[in-house]
Amino acid sequence: MAVISSLIPARFLTLLAHLVIVVTIFWSRVSASLLSRRLSYWLIVALSVTLGMFVIELAGFLSGVSMFNNTQSLL
């Protein structure tokens, strides 16, 4: 049971690290967008989709839908 109780904080920290990385890329996209306008457009779209999916994943985690489901919490 100790392994299961340590996986939930590790999963939460992984989610927060993912959020920090995406926000950092969003802030630093100005220097990358000087290379190409088309690349900048697709980068904004990809990061927006990533943030949207992250919100869904975090909502599922914090609501407990996936936190206490054995098949999802142990992956």
39 pLDDT higher than 80: no
Model confidence at 25, pLDDT cuts 50, 70, 90, reads confident
pLDDT at 47 over 80: yes
The 3 state secondary structure assigned to the chain is CHHHHHHHHHHHHHHHHHHHHHHHHHHCHHHHHCCCHHHHHHHHHHHHHHHHHHHHHHHHHHHCCCCCCHHHHCC
In terms of pTM, does the model score above 0.85?
Answer: no
The position carrying tokens 């959020």 is 19
CA 53 to mean position of chain CA atoms: 7
Say yes or no to pLDDT of 5 above 80: no
Share of the chain above pLDDT 90, in %: 4
Query: What residue spans define the domains of the chain?
Result: 11-73
